[in-house]
């Protein structure tokens, strides 16, 4: 063979290998694929567009119908009419969004429809439990249905796009936004990121988005927003790339693989670079590594805020940072509208970058069917018919019941008997509607909420239900205590409903103390002095420091914020019509000084040992959480036996197959969330003591037994090593199975 021919052949082979590698690197998940027909339509439209019109598609403004951040820009209608705004958020109802759509579709040169977005975080009109509460159910079917119901109501109200699921891992209860996510665990967080994305968008892929009952999801806040130092919202996050990739990024990748059509960048800086201008995150990882094909929107004026971060001196500087990092749409900042055209003319930004961003936005608009049917979601009759229906409210009740976690139940005081003569209902959240919707309740309507008082009244027609508020949620005023104590003395049992205001969690709601606000703990102590059984029900958006509540409470029920059906769900649990099955998706510390305290921690070289001085511990508190991740009681009891592995030596491509016998050893049917954890005992880097790798909800009749089996891919047991490579290193592992992370059966196994 001639040398020239040989070299040419060599070159061809080299090109082929490079392409294969490139393909492998950006293997686009099927759920992110765009069909050729859509691509053709987008190309045709792009070819007609001026630079300004392309930039217009990258601009998102809030309407004045509802506001979720700082100042509202007045001229958004003028911007729409001029083709300078292609997306609107916080505009609600089929009619109002129709009015705005008409401007875009009938008055602009190219008649490109608007996309309408909104924070549908835990329900649109029918309000479900806050996401952290839903996570406590560990019920992926119920959680997907909750997102599906939210999408059906939101799409009937003219919306195409929800700014959810929030998938930020959070391990600091001072951070108010812990309420909006799935808690501290990577596996649970990744599972629910997938489940909620599908709930909003329908199953895999974008082809379902054009139906009139789905909305495109938005995985947020990319990335590591939940790692804000000191739990102070918007604060710095700084960590190793290993921790970023092993803990904070996996739920986002799960959302990509589930087909999430959009992402939202976070306010915070990540290792010194604001997320909204972070090319490593937005292009290298999200697009090049994960194959994300949708569009990326910023958080509310987070481009502008990069000037405050100090990474650029002016609007043009931050605008260039964002667009060149791979961000596609500017939420509310006005920076893209004001700066991009001149940045292109000055050569700081390539027009191609703008064109590609507009392509991604227009592709989503085509996938949503906006061009074929711009008014497809503007039917106010259908909106009314779809909203707050009995089915939706039934789904909210089911989700609420399953989200409740029983933390303490001394003397089996719960469930209370329905034949109790007199029950005293005490506390600032006992007869309160407004707070029960919880943070980010969007279009939820407090008037529709079933209060605890209403729920108990319905449940106990023949019981004398006394009521006293006792105190406000967050004041120093204890003048209501006397009446509360008098009321308690007259009752056979006391139910105290205490907790936080809805505004004490969610955005811009960090707390430096995490005890019950105001004088609520003191109220509980006064009630306990009556000697009556005190059932404490918590309504809160974060783990609380319950150390002082514990001695005053005979029983403690974690009720979170449960939405529309709060009163019915709690009445069902308190009086035994529903056996609580929730488990904690986040550790509850004994006090805020322990924070961060979470399950998947490293062992350290001097693991805590109270009998040894020189070990990693506090002198003034027990060194375990008050309640561990995965903990939750039931009205029945469960026993675990006979943990077995199909094989205990496994290859890299094998499945770890474990099974255990679960027995209901109590007197009534119950549901148990069986949890599977693993530990990599020896690695090239120190590995966590326990990591959740599986869970199953099992409902069992009294006395029944069942074998519960798990299949865990060995490939899921890895981590990013010092060379930043994802590896599953050979060696000894442990598998642990039980009904709480601190009560497990353990077996060893080996990976070859
Ligand atoms: C807010 C929140 C974000 C929300 C957005 C639009 O500031 O950070 O979660 O989706 O603005 O309301």
**CA 639/CA 662 separation, integer angstroms:** 6
| pTM across the whole model | 0.96
Q: What's the token pair of residue 6?
A: 């040989």
Other CB atoms within 10 A of residue 419 CB = 9
Q: Are residues 393 and 377 in the same domain?
A: no
Q: What is the atom index within ligand 1 of the atom nearest the CA of 163?
A: 10
Q: Is the pLDDT of residue 17 over 60?
A: no
Q: Are residues 103 and 51 in the same domain?
A: yes
Q: Please give the average per-residue pLDDT across 4-32, as a whole number.
A: 64
Residue 1 counted as domain residue: no
Q: Please give the average per-residue pLDDT across 325-337, as a whole number.
A: 98
3-state secondary structure of 156: helix
- From 215, 507, 509, 510, mutation site for ligand 1 pocket: most ligand atoms within 8 A of C-beta: 507
Q: Are residues 296 and 269 in the same domain?
A: yes
Q: Are residues 378 and 431 in the same domain?
A: no
Residue 15 counted as domain residue: no
Residue 424 counted as domain residue: yes
By the 10 Å C-beta count (0-12 exposed, 13-18 middle, 19+ buried), 448 is classed as: middle
Q: Whose CA is nearest to atom 10 of ligand 1?
A: 163
Task: From 383, 407, 442, give the residue that closes a domain.
Answer: 383
Q: What is the atom index within ligand 1 of the atom nearest the CA of 164?
A: 10
Orientation angle between helical segments 351-367 and 36-48, nearest 10 degrees: 130
Q: Are residues 375 and 394 in the same domain?
A: no
pLDDT tens, position by position, 534-567: 999 999 999 999 999 999 999 999 999 999 999 9
Separation of 62 CA from ligand 1 center, angstroms? 11
- From 226, 299, 303, mutation site for ligand 1 pocket: most ligand atoms within 8 A of C-beta: 299
Q: Whose CA is nearest to atom 3 of ligand 1?
A: 299
Task: Give residue 11's pLDDT band: very low, low, confident or very high (50, 70, 90).
Answer: low
| 720 strand-pairing partners | 726
CATH number of the structural domain spanning residue 686: 2.60.40.10
Q: Are residues 43 and 148 in the same domain?
A: yes
Separation of 93 CA from ligand 1 center, angstroms? 19
**CA 481/CA 496 separation, integer angstroms:** 12
Residue 227 counted as domain residue: yes
CATH number of the structural domain spanning residue 295: 3.20.20.300
Separation of 359 CA from ligand 1 center, angstroms? 24
Task: Give residue 212's pLDDT band: very low, low, confident or very high (50, 70, 90).
Answer: confident
In the chain, the number of structural domains is 3
Q: Percent of the chain beyond pLDDT 70?
A: 96
Q: Are residues 326 and 189 in the same domain?
A: yes
Q: Is the pLDDT of residue 91 over 80?
A: yes
Residue 418 counted as domain residue: yes
pLDDT tens, position by position, 219-238: 999 999 999 999 999 999 99
Q: Whose CA is nearest to atom 7 of ligand 1?
A: 300
Other CB atoms within 10 A of residue 291 CB = 20
| 558 strand-pairing partners | 405, 538
**CA 691/CA 681 separation, integer angstroms:** 12
pLDDT tens, position by position, 509-536: 999 999 999 999 999 999 999 999 999 9
Q: Whose CA is nearest to atom 12 of ligand 1?
A: 68
- From 175, 300, 304, 442, mutation site for ligand 1 pocket: most ligand atoms within 8 A of C-beta: 300
pLDDT the model gives residue 67 = 79
Largest CA distance in the chain: 104
Residue 333 counted as domain residue: yes
**CA 333/CA 346 separation, integer angstroms:** 21
Higher pLDDT, 721 or 19: 721
Q: What is the mean pLDDT of the chain?
A: 95
Q: Are residues 260 and 336 in the same domain?
A: yes
Separation of 289 CA from ligand 1 center, angstroms? 26
**DSSP assignment of 357-393:** HHHHHHHHHHHTTTTT-TTTT--HHHHHHHTT-HHHH
Residues with CB under 6 A from ligand 1: 68-69, 119, 163, 220, 299-300, 507
| 495 strand-pairing partners | 425, 535
Active site residues per annotation: 299
Q: Are residues 316 and 336 in the same domain?
A: yes
Task: Give residue 24's pLDDT band: very low, low, confident or very high (50, 70, 90).
Answer: very low
Q: Please give the average per-residue pLDDT across 106-115, as a whole number.
A: 98
CATH number of the structural domain spanning residue 587: 3.40.50.1700
Q: Are residues 645 and 581 in the same domain?
A: no
Higher pLDDT, 202 or 721: 721
Residue 14 counted as domain residue: no
Separation of 296 CA from ligand 1 center, angstroms? 14
Task: From 574, 594, 614, give the residue that closes a domain.
Answer: 594
Q: Whose CA is nearest to atom 1 of ligand 1?
A: 300
Q: Which string of b and e fits 161-186 if b means at least 16 CB within 10 Å? A: bbbbbbbbbbbbbbbbbbbbbbbbbb
pLDDT tens, position by position, 598-651: 999 999 999 999 899 999 999 999 999 999 999 999 999 999 999 999 999 999
607: region left, alpha or beta (phi > 0 left; psi from -120 to 50 alpha):
beta
**Beta strands across the sheet bearing 670-680:** 649-650, 743-751, 731-740, 670-680, 691-700
Residue (of 502, 499, 387, 392) closest to 440 by Cα position: 502
* Measured CA distances, 443 to 31, 127, 304, 387, 724 (Å): 30, 8, 28, 11, 43
**CA 496/CA 478 separation, integer angstroms:** 15
Q: Are residues 368 and 416 in the same domain?
A: no
Separation of 441 CA from ligand 1 center, angstroms? 13
- From 65, 90, 119, mutation site for ligand 1 pocket: most ligand atoms within 8 A of C-beta: 119
pLDDT tens, position by position, 402-434: 999 999 999 999 999 999 999 999 999 999 998
Q: Are residues 47 and 167 in the same domain?
A: yes
Task: From 331, 352, 383, give the residue that closes a domain.
Answer: 383
pLDDT the model gives residue 312 = 98
Separation of 84 CA from ligand 1 center, angstroms? 22
pLDDT the model gives residue 49 = 98
Domain of 670 in residue numbering reads as 638-751
Residue 9 counted as domain residue: no
């Amino acid at each position: 063979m001639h040398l020239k021919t040989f070299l040419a052949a060599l070159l061809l082979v080299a090109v082929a290998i490079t392409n294969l590698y490139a393909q492998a690197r950006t293997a686009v998940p099927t759920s992110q694929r765009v069909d050729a027909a859509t691509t053709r339509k987008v190309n045709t439209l792009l070819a007609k567009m001026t630079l300004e019109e392309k930039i217009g598609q990258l601009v998102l403004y809030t309407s004045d119908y509802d506001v979720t951040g700082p100042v509202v820009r007045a001229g958004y209608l003028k911007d729409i009419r001029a083709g300078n705004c292609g997306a609107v958020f916080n505009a609600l109802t089929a009619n109002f969004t129709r009015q705005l759509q008409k401007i875009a579709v009938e008055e602009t040169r190219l008649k490109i429809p608007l996309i309408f977005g909104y924070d549908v975080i835990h329900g649109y009109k029918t309000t479900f439990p806050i996401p952290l509460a839903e996570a406590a159910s560990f019920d992926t079917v119920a959680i997907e249905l909750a997102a599906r119901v939210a999408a059906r109501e939101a799409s009937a109200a003219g919306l195409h796009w929800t700014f959810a699921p929030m998938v930020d891992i959070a391990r600091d209860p001072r951070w108010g936004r812990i309420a909006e996510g799935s808690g501290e665990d990577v596996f649970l967080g990744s599972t629910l990121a997938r489940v909620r994305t599908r709930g909003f968008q329908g199953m895999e892929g974008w082809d379902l988005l054009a139906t009139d009952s789905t909305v495109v999801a938005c995985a947020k806040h990319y990335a590591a927003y939940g790692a804000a130092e000191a739990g102070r919202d918007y604060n710095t996050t700084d960590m190793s790339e290993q921790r970023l990739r092993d803990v904070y990024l996996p739920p986002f990748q799960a959302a990509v693989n589930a087909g999430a059509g959009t992402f939202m960048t976070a306010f915070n800086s990540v290792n010194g670079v604001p997320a909204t201008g972070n090319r490593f995150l937005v292009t290298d990882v999200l697009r090049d590594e994960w194959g994300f094909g949708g569009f990326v929107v910023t958080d509310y004026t987070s481009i502008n805020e990069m000037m405050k971060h100090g990474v650029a001196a002016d609007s043009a500087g931050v605008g260039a940072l964002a667009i060149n990092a791979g961000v596609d749409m500017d939420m509310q900042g006005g920076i893209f509208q004001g700066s991009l055209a001149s940045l292109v003319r000055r050569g700081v930004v390539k027009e191609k970058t703008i064109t590609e961003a507009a392509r991604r936005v227009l592709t989503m608009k085509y996938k949503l069917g906006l061009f074929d049917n711009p008014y497809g979601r503007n039917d106010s009759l259908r909106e009314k018919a779809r909203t707050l229906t009995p089915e939706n409210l039934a789904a909210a009740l089911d989700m609420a019941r399953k989200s409740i976690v029983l933390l303490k139940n001394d003397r089996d005081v719960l469930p209370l008997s329905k034949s109790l003569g007199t029950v005293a209902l005490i506390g600032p959240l006992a007869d309160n509607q407004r707070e029960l919707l919880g943070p980010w309740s969007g279009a939820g309507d407090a008037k529709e909420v079933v209060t605890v008082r209403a729920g108990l009244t319905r449940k106990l027609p023949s019981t004398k239900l006394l009521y006293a508020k006792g105190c406000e949620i967050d004041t120093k005023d204890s003048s209501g205590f006397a009446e509360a104590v008098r009321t308690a003395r007259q009752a056979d049992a006391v139910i105290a409903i205490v907790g936080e205001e809805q505004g004490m969690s969610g955005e811009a709601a960090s707390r430096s103390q995490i005890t019950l606000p105001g004088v609520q703990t003191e109220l509980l102590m006064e009630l306990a002095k009556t000697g009556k059984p005190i059932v404490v029900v918590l309504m809160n958006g974060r783990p609380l420091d319950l150390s002082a509540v514990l001695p005053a409470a005979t029983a403690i029920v974690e009720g979170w914020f449960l939405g529309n059906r709060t009163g019915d769900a709690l009445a069902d649990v308190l009086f035994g019509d529903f056996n609580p099955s929730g488990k904690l998706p986040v550790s509850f510390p004994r006090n805020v000084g322990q924070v961060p305290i979470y399950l998947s921690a490293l062992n350290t070289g001097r693991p805590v040992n109270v009998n040894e001085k020189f070990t990693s511990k506090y002198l003034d508190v027990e060194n375990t959480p008050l309640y561990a991740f995965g903990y939750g009681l039931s009205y029945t009891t469960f026993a675990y036996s006979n943990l077995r592995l199909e094989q205990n030596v496994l290859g890299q491509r094998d499945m770890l197959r474990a099974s255990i016998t679960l027995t209901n050893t109590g007197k009534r049917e119950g549901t148990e969330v069986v949890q599977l954890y693993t530990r990599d005992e020896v690695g090239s880097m120190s590995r966590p003591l326990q990591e959740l790798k599986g869970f199953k909800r099992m409902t069992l009749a009294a006395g029944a037994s069942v074998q519960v089996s798990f299949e865990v891919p060995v490939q899921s047991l890895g981590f990013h090593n010092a060379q930043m490579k994802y590896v599953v290193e050979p060696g000894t592992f442990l598998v642990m199975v039980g009904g709480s992370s601190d009560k497990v059966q353990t077996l060893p196994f080996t990976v070859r």
